[in-house]
Amino acid sequence: MDNHRTQGARRPLVGITQGDWNGIGYEVIIKALSDERILEAFTPVIYGSSKLFGFYKKTLSEIGPAEAFVINGPRQARPRKINIINCLPDGIVPEPGQATVEAARGAMTSLQTAVDDLKAGDIDILVTAPVNKRSMDKAGFGSTGHTEYLQKQFGVEDVLMFMVSDSLRVGVATGHIPLREVAGALNTQMLVDKLRIMKDSLTRDFRIDSPKIAVLGLNPHCGDGGLIGTEESDIIAPAVKQACDEGINAFGPYSADGFFSLGNYTRFDAVLAMYHDQGLAPFKAISFEDGVNFTAGLPIVRTSPDHGTAFEKAGRGISDPDSMRNAIYKAVDIWRNRLEYDDLLSDKMPERRLDNGRGHEGGKNGRPQIA
């Protein structure tokens, strides 16, 4: 096995799942990989169907030669080429724009095959194209999304849905749950756990020293001193204090509306939102074109575009590949950052004792101040 430095110097194998074959997955994958310059950074392996690849390529009149080489496994992947593993039946029929159980089952097969190869060490990185959650549920997926599925597959206690771009990073404390359940799902320890994951990811995956994290409130105006909710005083503020006591530079809680509208997010390295739309609505408004969904807390690197299946655009050749392209590039960057960070950490291990990810040395100094 190559050591980390040798791995970091090589071109990583990026497994790309097809997602729902009736959505825009193939279109954005083909468009993203059609520029040969992107293939200098990594070797792509698509998990899906060469038949579907060919079908959607014909809908893209502006795309030049984008040939996919059929391989039996990742170890046969050709550098600087688009590789595809046929893991679906030959008789599949694409129906662009239609939500079908058959397409969901195909997405499940593509994902499981890629995850099996990831676990075996045959690919380095996972990038997932969008799926339709309702169709996946009907097909028996058993998870509300990729994030929860990968958490189970890799046996980790907790993960963080982390939306990232060049200008903004937003994590969500509660993921794909109904809004009516959000308040009951929050507790101080859960928020501290999310802040630990976020801090560790910012340090290791994004190479940010002593990252500053803003924490949003739950209620309008942060509860107005208890007039319209006490979650801020009872749950969120204590979580911020506990995180600070552990050496995490956490601040807040902040009222979400003013925080984003006034540009306060630019003063922080990341933001922890309390629920899905509280974080993703402003994120997509600010960073839709270059936004990426990253799952922090996993032992592997997984990203995806920050959009859905977009059935209304499927098969029309009009979908924008920027988010898929950025998802791939961001995954490669994070993969290399992890190797470099782990190398530095291993070099320092004889010199000092590690603190198990609980923050920086000398962390019990009270609430940090913004520089």
pLDDT tens profile 34-77: 988 899 999 999 999 999 999 999 988 777 667 899 999 999 99
Q: Are 215 and 230 a contacting pair, CB within 8 Å? A: no
Inform me whether the pLDDT recorded for 363 exceeds 60. no
First to last CA, the chain: 43
Q: pLDDT tens digit string along 236-281?
A: 999 999 999 999 999 999 999 899 988 899 999 999 999 999 999 9
CA-wise closest residue to 25 among 42, 43, 51, 48: 48
CA distance 62 to 165: 27
Inform me whether the pLDDT recorded for 213 exceeds 90. yes
Q: Give the chain's mean pLDDT.
A: 90
Pair of tokens at residue 286: 């600010």
Q: What is the DSSP letter of 324?
A: H
- The fold for domain 1-156+298-320 equals Isopropylmalate Dehydrogenase (3.40.718)
CA distance 224 to 153: 42
Q: How confident is the model at residue 1 (pLDDT cuts 50, 70, 90)?
A: very low
Inform me whether the pLDDT recorded for 211 exceeds 90. yes
Q: pLDDT tens digit string along 318-360?
A: 999 999 999 999 999 999 999 999 998 877 655 443 343 333 3
CA-wise closest residue to 337 among 228, 146, 209: 209
Q: How confident is the model at residue 176 (pLDDT cuts 50, 70, 90)?
A: confident
pTM of the model: 0.88
Residues in the chain: 371
Q: pLDDT tens digit string along 97-131?
A: 999 999 999 999 999 999 999 999 999 999 999 99
